[in-house]
Every structure is written in structure tokens, then in C-alpha cells.
Structure 1
Amino acid sequence: MSTINEKLTFKRGLTLKNRIMMAPMTTKMSFYDGVVTQDEIDYYSMRAGEIGAVITGAANVQPDGKGWEGELGVYDDKFIPGLAKLAAGIKKNGTKAILQIFHGGRMTNSQVLRGTQPVSASAVAAERPDAETPRALESEEIVALISNFKAATKRAIAAGFDGVELHGANTYLLQQFFSPHSNRREDEWGGSLEKRFRFIKEVVQAVTSAVDESGVENFIVGYRFSPEEYENPGIRFADTLYLVGQLAEMGLDYLHISLNQADKVSVSEDYQEKSMMAYVYEKINGRLPLIGVGDVRVGKDAEAILAQADAVALGKALLLDPNWLPKVLNGQENLIRQELSRFDCEELRISNGVWGFLESMMPERLY
């Protein structure tokens, strides 16, 4: 078992100075056109410096992939100067900067897309209120989208980031291709489990080849995934173990599970003897690091995750207290901020978008 303050080195050579990372979270801080704002730079910079790495909120790889207002863009070279400032703001005192990249798929709407119909693997609406029915992507559009993930990775390299994370979680497009709910295709991109994995496989290959072909050193590629869906049909935990097994054999540097509770157990009767994170860690079997997550509040919570993962991603804890790690390491956990007032937002660089995220995730800790 690793310790919080232990270094972590990935296979492409990048070393984190400790095992604590900032989890990717929605900020809604960018300009309307996806350009980075100074508020956004200040927000991330405040939480860097002590922890091993910061993973940004999602940046869309093409215009119709925008999931919400105030989202980062990485689909054009015009974004590189702003992204370079963001990366530099994060990379102080040895903290590494990782840009999460994605396409929102059907988890957006025509208003956000300025009149354009959302797209997905198939023309099936999400099971959520007011969900719009997307247009199914044509095969040639899928091929172009894969190229756009690769181009986004090249821009992240040019901007000085230390890595990218593919956002294959939270029901966005990568997950939509793998899910039997959102992918009803009967061509080479859907049908069997193996064919539903194909889009993910080709995106990973395109992104890792971009890194390897660039000659950049110490630049890593991660993949985030959600372990289960509750739709019927939907992704079941056995499907996720297949996904994990396949991804562990590819050119990735880490996998990152998305959970709101670290000890969450599968709804499948076949996988209830231990947590889903423990099953995933066992499936990976040391082939690459697993980033664990799930309502960490104090040091012992992070240590519990490190019994079944190789690093810990903190979300809400770092929003409430950017100095969480030094307080843990210095035996000052009694000083960790556990609640948040609206009056604290300016001091903590918390925007209305971040406050809205916190209201949806932990209203009992706000006042």
C-alpha cells in the first residue's frame, strides 16, 4: 500500500511528487466561446502547488461537443495561448497539469449548441428530463471525431500541459458508444460488446500515437470511466471489467474511476463481496496505476483509497480547502474547512458555476 506523500512515476516517465490529485470538475468559468478566463486560471492556481497534479474540467474537442456554457475549448489553435496560461498557472512548485478532453454527445442541447442538434452513437435520447433526441453520427463523422481527439492532444502538448485525460465517464460520448442504451448501431461501431468498444479503442490509439509521434517527454494519457449505468439496457459492471481489461493493455498511463463514494458496491449480484474500486484494482493487476476517488474529507479517507488504488483524486475537499494536503501532512486536520458559506466564495475563487456544482453534490455542507 502506498502513502499519501509517496511519489508516483508513470510509464511515460512523468513523476508526481505525491499521490494527491485534483479531480476534474465543472467550473463554467470560460468565456462564451471556450477561451480561458483569468478567474479560471486563479481558481486552479490556488489549488495547485502542494498536490501532485491538477486535472482540469472537460474541454471539448469539436464545437458540437460542447456540453454546457462556460466550458473550455480545445478544438482550434486559437485556444492554445489561453490554455498555455492555464497550464503555467497550475504548474507551480512542481504540480503537474492534465487537461481533460471530451465530447458531450447527447448530454447537451441545441440551445448550448446555438441551434445545432446534438449527436451521439444513435438517435436515442438520454433518460433525463427535457433530453433532446440526438442525431446518429455517420461513419465518416466518427473517423473525423477520432482525428479531432488527436488534434486536441497535440494542442495540449503545445500549450505545455503534462498530460491529457480522456473523459469516458459521466455518460458523455465515449461512454455513449460503449453503452447499449445509447449505442443501438448495427455497423462496425456497434452491436456486440467488442464493436461498442471500438470507438474508445480508436480514440485511445489516436491520442497515444499523437503523444508518441510528437517526441514530447513525460507527457501522460489517462482514461476516466464510470463503472455502471442504471438504464436498461445499460453498462453493467461485467462490461466495465471487460473495458478495464482492454484499456490496461493499451498505451495508457493510468485509469481513473468515477465514483461519489469510494466504497460503493455494484448493483450486480455477482459483484457484491467488495467495492467496485477493489474489483477494478484487482482486474488491473498492476498493469497501470488506478486513480481512486470518493468523498475524501480527511487523511484516513485518502489512505483507505490507497489500499485499493495508486493515487487519490480530491474534488469537493479541495474546493472547500485548497490547503487540504499540508494540513493533513502537518497534523492539522482539525483546521480543514468542512463547510462553505457564500461569503467564502470570493476568497476561494469559487464562481457561480462552481457553487452550482457544490449545491448539487453536497448541499448539506453549504450555508
Structure 2
Amino acid sequence: MKEKFKPLFEPFQFRNGIDVKNRIVMGPTTNFSSHLDGTVTDEEVNYYTRRAHGVGMLITACAYVTPNGKGFHGEFGADTDGVLPSLSRLAKAIKDQGAKAILQIFHGGRSCPPELLPNEDLVSASAVAEERDGAPVPRALEEEEVEEIIHAFGEATRRAIEAGFDGIEIHGANGYLIQQFFSPHSNRRTDRWGGNIENRMAFPLAIVDIVKDTVAKYITQPFLIGYRFSPEEPETPGITMTDTLQLVDALANKDLDYLHVSLMEFWSLARRGTDDTRSRIELIVEKVDKRVPIIGVGSIKTPDDAVKAIEAGVEFIALAREIIIEPDWVQKTLEGNEAEINTVLLRSDQEKLAIPIPLWQAIMNTPGWFPVAE
């Protein structure tokens, strides 16, 4: 390995004593490949096994915590005890390769495809549709239902513990239900869950609290709790950088194990809410001020990209599309063969890379999502 890449391979110990072998994380990416009953398929297990052997941590695709929170076709669940064998199988497959296994849990809210909810209402913080053509109007959750969903996040955490995962990641990013409560676009409530920013933070922070309480109640060994967030929204009104820095400050005071920033481009600049010309990640690093480790992500392809990102002050780098394209990214870097790292998918690569067919079809049919060549 070249000397300049050593920062990527320094071990890290979390405050609770969990050791991670390096600073590279496989980021969560939906794969559309689970059974209809919410259990994992052989294809998914093979896909994760192929990618878990080098990274320090692997964060799974999101698992829904209630039936009306299923956000994708072919998504696996964490909503009932019946899926425990499925979750256990997935956790073991990841951990057997030497990576820490992190289960991402979420509720899709108004972003759920209605056809996946035949016996459930499409719900959100308020009856406000997404800003896209044909988007359905969700039903605003009753206060009792809000409490039930918070409880469901706790139960999903319990299942992650019982299944043998090393941690969970609360998915508060990418426009899903947790973000819908934080956003002034999707949250027009006038009760304790909406209005000013403190009230709009109440739902995300209540989920953090119940997850922490669940972990304290059920763990027999250290367990990681992370939170993923998106810094801004394009809508008006919408989440601004000022809003996010206030949320980040509150989260950093919650004694979480890490924060995970959801970005398409690591070095992207804020759209609004600040006159600071530094990148979003630099503003977040400054606000956190080492209170909690940060995972950065966004169009990082090469080891040189990753080292530059680490130097911005984050503790970990997540690779999502790049680990799908190049499962041996870590090994090739360690062995000094970084020039052999593939950054483009070939149309003949599906079987070689153990990419599930539904994910492969989605990649091939979504121009611009992945770089693809003949």
C-alpha cells in the first residue's frame, strides 16, 4: 500500500469499545431484490457477502419498520418478529467477512409507492404531496399513530439486536418520513410535532431516544447507533443549511455513535441558509466539533478522492456505487493495485459482480445513476 493511503486503513475505536478495522464503509443502496414477504433472498446475501470482505463497516439497504413504511419494491423488512431468521442470516453473512454489520431502518412516509400499500394509507407528517407530477397526497398521521411509529423504530432496533447486527442506522435522510417531519415543506402541523424548528425536530429526536432506550434495555454487548441526514431540500419552504446545523447540533448532543451525511457530491456547497463559502461537509464538521464521528459520502471513486475527503475532518468515508462497481476496492488499494480499480460498469459484469438481477435492471434502465459502458 502506498504511504499516502494509510489514513484510510487506520483502525478506529468507538466510545463504546467497538473496534473497526479501517475507515471505509459500504454505504446503503436499495437493491430491489427481497422476497415479497420482506425476507432477504439468496441473491442479496451473495451481493453483501461479495462486498463485506474489505470494508470496516457495511450499512445495509433500508428496512421498513411498519407495513405502511415500505418504500421500495423488493425491500426487506424489520417490522415483525417473523423476519428475525432473515435478518439473522444477513447479519451473519456480513460479519463472517470481517465487517461490522449495520442495519438501516426507516419509514418511507409519503414517498412510498401506493401499490405497495394495498391495505394501508399513504401517510406523512401532513397532507402535502411531493413536488413531482402525479404525486399522491398523503394522509396526515394522527398523534397516536406518530407514537406508534416511534415505538416501531424501537421494536426494529430490538430485532436488529436479536438478529446479531453490530448496530443500526436511523434513516433520517433522502426525503423519507423522518425528514418529512423535520421539513417545513412536508410538515405543516400545529401540534407538538410541527411548527417551529424545535417542534419539527421532536419526531427525529424521539426516535433517537427510543432507539437508545431499546439498546440500553436489550444489548449484552456494545451496539452502534448512527443517524443519516440530508443537509438541504430544493423545495421552498424546505430544509436549509441553517436548519440542518441546528439539527446536527442537537444530534451531536445525543451521544450517538456516528452521523452519516447523505450527499451526492462530497464537496458540494450550500444552496441557502448560510453566507459561508465552504462546503456543506466542512460546515457540518465544524458544528459537530468532534463530539461524534462523521461518515462522509458523495462521488468518491478513487483512493485519492477518499484521502482528500478524510482530510476534511470526517472519520469515515462511505462508498456506495463504487463498492457495487468494484467490490475489491479495499483489497486493491491495500495491495498497491489501486490503478486496477474499476469505476465503470460493463454490461457483461452482472454475474461476475454478484449484483442481484432486479438491481442490475434498475441500473441499466436508469441513465446517469451509474457509469455504464459497453
Q: TM-score range by the shorter chain?
A: over 0.9
Q: 1:217: Cα distance to partner?
A: 1.5
Q: Which runs of 5+ in 2 are unaligned?
A: none
TM-score by length of 2: 0.95
Structure 1 residues 112, 360: CA separation in 2 closer, same or farther (over 3 Å shift)?
farther
Aligned partner of residue 106 in structure 1, secondary structure: helix
Aligned partner of residue 193 in structure 2, secondary structure: coil
- Give distance in 2, aligned partners of 1:294 and 1:109: 26
Name 2:341's counterpart in structure 1.
336
Name 1:36's counterpart in structure 2.
40
Deviates more, 1:211-220 or 1:151-160: 211-220
Q: 1:113: Cα distance to partner?
A: 0.9
Deviates more, 1:328-337 or 1:116-125: 328-337
Structure 1 residues 134, 269: CA separation in 2 closer, same or farther (over 3 Å shift)?
closer
- Give distance in 2, aligned partners of 1:97 and 1:137: 32
Name 1:260's counterpart in structure 2.
264
TM-score by length of 1: 0.97
Aligned partner of residue 337 in structure 1, secondary structure: coil
Name 2:250's counterpart in structure 1.
246
* Alignment partner of 1:365 out of 349, 366, 372: 372
What does residue range 88-237 of structure 1 map to in structure 2 within 5 Å?
Answer: 88-237=92-241
- Give distance in 1, aligned partners of 2:219 and 2:167: 13
1:365 aligned partner, one-letter code:
V
* Alignment partner of 1:22 out of 26, 29, 39: 26
Deviations 1:143-168 (A, max 9, x none): 11111000000000000000000000
Name 1:315's counterpart in structure 2.
320
* Alignment partner of 1:9 out of 10, 13, 29: 13
- Give distance in 2, aligned partners of 1:115 and 1:352: 28
The Cα RMSD (Å) is 1.5
- Give distance in 2, aligned partners of 1:217 and 1:154: 13
Name 1:275's counterpart in structure 2.
279
Structure 1 residues 244, 21: CA separation in 2 closer, same or farther (over 3 Å shift)?
same
Q: 1:83: Cα distance to partner?
A: 0.7
Q: 1:339: Cα distance to partner?
A: 1.4
- Give distance in 2, aligned partners of 1:4 and 1:122: 43
* Alignment partner of 1:52 out of 50, 56, 59: 56
Contact 1:63/1:75 (8 A) holds in 2: yes
- Give distance in 2, aligned partners of 1:123 and 1:50: 44
Q: 1:360: Cα distance to partner?
A: 4.9
Q: 1:14: Cα distance to partner?
A: 1.3
Contact 1:59/1:71 (8 A) holds in 2: yes
2:302 matched to 1:295? no
- Give distance in 2, aligned partners of 1:2 and 1:166: 30
Q: 1:357: Cα distance to partner?
A: 4.3
Deviates more, 1:212-221 or 1:197-206: 212-221
Q: 1:212: Cα distance to partner?
A: 1.1
Contact 1:248/1:284 (8 A) holds in 2: yes
Deviations 1:161-206 (A, max 9, x none): 0000000000000000000000000001000000000001110000
- Give distance in 2, aligned partners of 1:268 and 1:295: 22
Q: 1:270: Cα distance to partner?
A: 2.4
1:148 aligned partner, one-letter code:
A
- Give distance in 2, aligned partners of 1:179 and 1:350: 34
1:131 aligned partner, one-letter code:
A
- Give distance in 2, aligned partners of 1:351 and 1:78: 24
Deviates more, 1:60-69 or 1:122-131: 122-131
Structure 1 residues 342, 239: CA separation in 2 closer, same or farther (over 3 Å shift)?
same
1:232 aligned partner, one-letter code:
T
2:136 aligned partner, one-letter code:
E
Deviations 1:275-314 (A, max 9, x none): 1001101100000100001111111111111112110000
What is the aligned-residue identity percentage?
Answer: 44
- Give distance in 2, aligned partners of 1:279 and 1:52: 26
Q: 1:93: Cα distance to partner?
A: 4.0
Deviations 1:234-254 (A, max 9, x none): 000000000000000003110
Contact 2:49/2:94 (8 A) holds in 1: yes
Aligned partner of residue 54 in structure 1, secondary structure: strand
1:282 aligned partner, one-letter code:
E
Contact 2:181/2:194 (8 A) holds in 1: yes
1:278 aligned partner, one-letter code:
E
Number of positions where the alignment pairs a residue of Structure 1 with one of Structure 2 = 367
Q: 1:350: Cα distance to partner?
A: 1.3
Q: 1:92: Cα distance to partner?
A: 2.2
